[in-house]
Chains A and B, each alone.
Chain A
Amino acid sequence: MSSRERILGRVRRALADVPRDDTPYERAVPRDYLREHGERSAEETVELLAENLADYRAIVHRCADGELPKLLARLMAERGSRSVLVPPGLPPHWIAAVDATRVPDRAGSTPHELDRVDSVITGCAVAIAETGTIVLDGGPDQGRRRITLVPDHHICVVRVPGQVVSSVPQALGRLDPARPLTWISGPSATSDIELDRVEGVHGPRTLEVVLVD
């Protein structure tokens, strides 16, 4: 007997007490929890996102669409970044003013090559206000998962209010599970030493989020 058959057989014997006409899934789980917590206007939702991102040590900027190229150029210059990873579908005008070497997101680049890049600029799939979370789904303006992981500086551009939802349930409804998803709430952090929170362990130590109107 294969282990598959053995385990499934054990499960079925273990569940001998469960009646055959047991409640179906749809009725077994009450969904009377909230779809979102509190009532907010679109602008208030964006403000809550900014607040919660900052609370977990992300650096938050807001600007109008036209100001984005100048802002991104300034953020890169202030940090002294000389190279920037660019996903294939990042709108070219975003980084038109950035004075740094463009490194394309290629399947062939080695982790060591990525490690030598200073910054990465991406878009996102959705952002969650209540938890201060941005979600990447590998879309053309976000690139492979590893490009937002290995470089030490990540700038993520969120289009507001269109890409912002209030809550986790609303975010899941917008996402496609078939895509690889990365949920990011602030920069890398650990609490493993005496439960003191320390930012920046393995992921980017600096996360800047730009909310673009």
Chain B
Amino acid sequence: MSGTYLGMPAFPEAARAAVRDRTLRGNLRHATHTIRAKRAKAVTEVSDWAELREAGRRIKDHTLRHLDRYLVRVEEAVTAAGGTVHWAADADEANRIVTALVEETGESEVVKVKSMATQEIGLNEALEAAGIRAYETDLAELIVQLGKDRPSHILVPAIHRNRGEIRDIFRAEMSEWGRPAPEGLTDTPAELAEAARLHLREKFLRAKVGVSGANFVVAETGTLVVVESEGNGRMCLTLPETLISVVGIEKIVPTWRDLEVFLQTLPRSSTAERMNPYTSMWTGTTDEDGPRTFHLVLLDNGRTDTLADEVGRQALRCIRCSACLNVCPVYERAGGHAYGSVYPGPIGAILSPQLRGTGSDIDASLPYASSLCGACYEVCPVAIDIPEVLVHLRERVVQGGPATRRGNKVLLKPAKGHAAERAAMRAAQWAFAHPGVLRTGQRLASRTRRFHPRTLPGPGRAWTGSRDLPAVPAEPFRDWWQRTRGGEDGTK
């Protein structure tokens, strides 16, 4: 995945820094609580939410279970409609394909619709290395790009910034990239949006190449769907002469009719609207309306490895609505950057370690970036059981076992950092099986409690680094029970 995130510390370290940042916590709390309440209201408006959710789950599951067939169908339909289909096994290959396609046009800049897939593969950096400038045109992405920052939310990538910070970024950076911010720019959202409009319009009007992702690809018809609010998507999809769409292979739905489910559940789950302001649908190319050349790049980049995991494959049902981020108590406090991936929050905690494998510290720590409270599962419009997958991935991290990497079956070793945890659990198991040992241990613990450290020494330090060590009572429960029979005789 994106080079931007290499060398990220494990989640607990990144989160520790984030929770100390009062501005960040304030920004996040305000934003997530606002959207949470709105979403609940938008969902109550449709009485058949449960049925829509179940239909969405089944459509996605069915597609995944026959993905080879639907991929071939997409290729046929898009080709028949005048598009060209490319296949990319990993990020490098996708970047090479897109770079070559842009170079063929002779252009040295592209305008981009916000897209998770192109962020995942680090396309902007790859294009830059080839001397091509990629302009992000979604307002939040623009804030992130101008601020030399990283996105921290799937839907609202600049959710960690407040209006004052955004004004400062616009004032300082816009002139580097094109039209400078207007004189005397204040921090009202309307003025900031107007500054972005002026800055970006000059780019839209001269753009010859557009790059996008897609929310859905209809296998039956070869239709691509992009759901957005601002109109920047429509600009990038219709004004340029060449359009290149990079789409993960899990974005396919079988039929045109399937859109009736997702166009009802996606807007309500993500922005809490009955419908987002703009949705564009296109099938190949159309004579004299929109781009003359259309390329679809079908991206694997770890998706087939995820598909190979019978428990974890449900993560591929994700329609990137970000409802799970907004309800997650861990995301709300730690912020999106701590997840070290373009996919933050609960869905990121199960998607990233599957797409990238659990080899790095950050990926091995992500299945633990959760309180397993289940709120993410409750709000998911395609019913991904995120807690189930988290527990499954924790088991893989601690115990090792079979997994698929780059299409090959591998046997993972238990992760290093968890040896002490395994030893402690084994010791506990033995102690619980020997009551005498347990009793002696508990008494010893009670009598020495004044000398207990607040953090554990040695390998236990990692555990107490993010938790308080529970206080040991003055008397073990079993002794107290024996003495008082549960307080029957009036003593305590």
Contacts and interface: CB of A to CB of B under 8 A. Distances in A.
A18 B200 CA distance: 48
Contacts of B65: 15, 18, 22
Nearest to A191: B271
A195 B205 contact: no
A149 interface: yes
A168 to B, nearest CB: 5
A29 B290 contact: no
B58 interface: yes
Contact of B407 (A13, A138, A168): A13
B190 A180 contact: no
A161 interface: no
B163 A194 contact: yes
Interface residues of A, number: 74
B445 interface: no
Interface of B: 27, 30-31, 34-35, 45-48, 51-52, 54-55, 58-59, 61-62, 65-68, 71-72, 75, 81, 87-89, 93, 137-140, 143, 156, 158-159, 162-163, 166, 189-190, 192-194, 196-197, 200-201, 204-206, 218, 221, 223, 229-232, 234-235, 238-239, 249, 254-261, 263-264, 271, 273-283, 286, 288-290, 298, 300, 304-305, 307-308, 310, 313, 404, 407
B193 A193 contact: yes
Given A111-B204, A191-B271, A198 B193 contact: yes
Contact of B193 (A4, A200, A203): A200
Contact of A149 (B81, B238, B282): B238
Interface of A: 2-4, 6-15, 17-18, 22-23, 25, 28-34, 37, 52, 56, 107, 110-112, 115, 128, 130-133, 138, 144-146, 149-150, 168-169, 172-173, 177-196, 198, 200-204
A202 B55 contact: no
A181 B218 CA distance: 14
Given A11-B249, A181-B279, A200-B194, 12 more contacts: A7-B249, A25-B66, A30-B55, A33-B55, A130-B274, A131-B274, A180-B280, A180-B283, A188-B229, A194-B162, A195-B30, A202-B201
Given A10-B304, A133-B275, A169-B260, A201 B281 contact: no
20 contacts: A6-B407, A8-B72, A10-B304, A14-B305, A14-B404, A15-B68, A28-B58, A31-B55, A33-B261, A111-B204, A146-B289, A150-B239, A169-B260, A177-B283, A190-B230, A194-B31, A201-B196, A201-B197, A202-B231, A202-B232
Given A11-B307, A33-B51, A172-B256, A195 B58 contact: no
Contacts, number: 255
Contacts of A107: 288
